[in-house]
A and B are shown apart, each in its own frame.
Chain A
Amino acid sequence: MILLCGIPSESPLALVGEALDSICAPYLWFNQRHFASSDMAFDIDERGITGWLEIDGQGVPLESVTGVYSRLMEHAKLPELRGQAADSPARRHCDALHDTLGRWTEISPARVVNRVAPMGSNSSKPYQAQLIRQHGFEVPASLITTDAHEVLAFRDQHKKIIYKSISGVRSIVQAFDDADLGRLASLRWCPTQFQQYVPGTDVRVHVVDDEVYATRIESEAVDYRYAKKQVGEPARLSAMELDDDVAERCVALTRGLGLVFSGIDLKFAPDGRIYCFEVNPCPGFSYFELNSGQPIALVVARHLAMAD
């Protein structure tokens, strides 16, 4: 049995559900919005990890769950909890249910795509960049500083630089230009990340276990995800083949980060170097699948089903 966790209408989850249907793999929805009619318990003892999950009156032993695809949204923001006091029975049950599910997925012997702890590397871009570097990819020269003079020297060295958040919050890449000079004084109170601008072709690589799908992205925007806002037209996506060596490094990087499924952002620079900007541990792949025709959801579904 495969468990899909989140809100079924969310695009990546919906696509994986459809893919599981197409290969006739049995699955069960853990619909967060139905928390009121869901219950869960698990035990850790000499038998290992056992337990029970009940959803809308249907119960399954946790030992029968062999695959989990989780895209849980922040449950405190569920519409069903709107207006509920912090200590209301509904909110407390929702908290306890998600806590129980979260703890079980971290230790469950099932194939979990992905467990929460390994996803944490994405919460610090320079931390993750140090891990990425170990897998043979270039990472852009980066400076995190509270000092304006260091920023100006960094710009002199690299000519064109960008700035972006260090964490995963407000993660929008912006070009640094003269209009930003007046704001450098405020660096003193929060170190800020600057990076060399790397020209070239953006490539998103989705890795599922040892399968690799690469998508070329063409856009004039500094951050293609916001291409329409930044340059007035959306990015153009197309499937592409990677050299075996690059594909193998993408698989090794994904495994090295403790992930099964990843979305890797590469840039193929004109000088032949391949830079890796980040590894997204919970990729919203539907944008790429729907624009490139690559069967990413099907590969995720097959991976989950193979454990059965």
Chain B
Amino acid sequence: MWLVLCETHDAAASWAYSSLRARGLAPLEILSAEQLALSEFQEHRLDGPRSTLRLRTESGLQVDGQRLGGVLNRLWTVPIGHWRQAGEADRNYVQQELFAFFLSWLHALPCPVLNRPTPQGLCGQWRQESEWAWLARQAGLPVAAYRQTSRDTVDESRGERRLVPAGATVHTAIVVGARVVGAAIPSAIADACVRLSALARTPLLGVDFVQSPDGWRFAGASPTPDLRLGGEPLVDALMHELRQSERAAA
């Protein structure tokens, strides 16, 4: 079995699910964070060298982590709507507990997982703009100078800190393993995108660019790009990565 894990209204994940299914990846299931959090049976064990996961969702779907062929993972948060009646301290505690639980069982899956979880993000490490700018420079991408001061008045909670001006037209290239799909960028830039993906330890990475008179310029990166921008070449790349364990077994 293969899984697509995502937020409830993740249209890009739904598109990927339909596209992979149309290509014959089967059995393939799509599960939302909410369905996972409300699973009627959840069990994760660490025993000697082994780690296991077993889930049974409310609809009766059984998931055995040892039997998964691959996972497209776009989980970002763990919903705790079923705890809405609890006090704030308890809700915060449950949120932390469920995040820690998801992080551990996702990490334990022996199959290919795009992307594997980190403590800074269930589907890959969330990074601040400054860190992306620094990594992108190290990867050899053209990056505008970044400056931050303690007197800046941007509202971080509204995502006002950006590497490019708000409203700029952004083109997204998507790295999947060693392939780059999406925006038609020069091959040298594509190679640098693959290096950025490796530096960020994020094999499925959306890399944003703006076009300036000087050429392509790095504008940000995300472990949850809009997969639809990659079209059929992206589905090819996902099929290749998610079928790795099947090929290894053969």
Contact = CB atoms under 8 A, between A and B. Distances in A.
Interface of A: 38-46, 49, 92-93, 95-97, 99-100, 103-104, 106-107, 117, 120-121, 123-127, 129-130, 133, 139, 141-147, 150, 165-170, 188-191
Interface of B: 39-49, 51, 82-83, 92-94, 96-101, 103-105, 107-108, 118-120, 125, 128, 130-131, 133-134, 137, 143, 145-153, 156
Given A123-B96, A124-B100, A169-B97, A144 B131 contact: no
A147 B43 CA distance: 8
Contact of B94 (A93, A96, A126, A190): A190
A120 B100 CA distance: 10
25 contacts: A40-B150, A41-B149, A42-B149, A43-B146, A44-B130, A93-B150, A100-B152, A103-B128, A117-B125, A123-B100, A126-B44, A127-B104, A127-B107, A130-B51, A130-B104, A130-B107, A141-B45, A141-B48, A144-B45, A147-B41, A165-B93, A166-B100, A167-B99, A169-B96, A190-B98
A181 B133 CA distance: 53
Nearest to A123: B119
Most B CB contacts (10 A, CB to CB) among A38, A120, A146, A190 go to A190
B97 A167 contact: yes
Contacts of A191: 42, 44, 97-98, 101
Given A107-B131, A127-B103, A141-B45, 20 more contacts: A39-B151, A40-B150, A43-B146, A96-B150, A97-B150, A100-B148, A100-B152, A123-B99, A123-B119, A126-B101, A127-B100, A130-B104, A139-B46, A143-B45, A144-B45, A144-B101, A146-B39, A167-B97, A168-B100, A191-B98
A129 B51 CA distance: 10
Given A99-B156, A190-B94, A190-B98, A45 B103 contact: no
A145 B46 CA distance: 12
A73 B144 CA distance: 33
A40 B149 contact: yes
Given A141-B46, A189-B83, A44 B145 contact: yes
A16 to B, nearest CB: 24
Contact of A43 (B42, B44, B48, B145): B145
B128 A106 contact: yes
A17 B108 CA distance: 41
Contact of A117 (B105, B120, B137): B120
Counting from the closest, the 5 A-B pairs by CB-CB distance are A120-B119, A124-B100, A41-B149, A167-B100, A126-B104
A120 B119 CA distance: 5
Contacts of A45: 145-146
Contacts of A125: 100, 104
Contact of B42 (A97, A126, A142, A146): A146
Contacts of A145: 42-44
Contact of A124 (B99, B148, B149): B99
Nearest to A99: B156
B150 A44 contact: no
A42 B148 contact: yes
Most A CB contacts (10 A, CB to CB) among B39, B43, B150, B156 go to B150
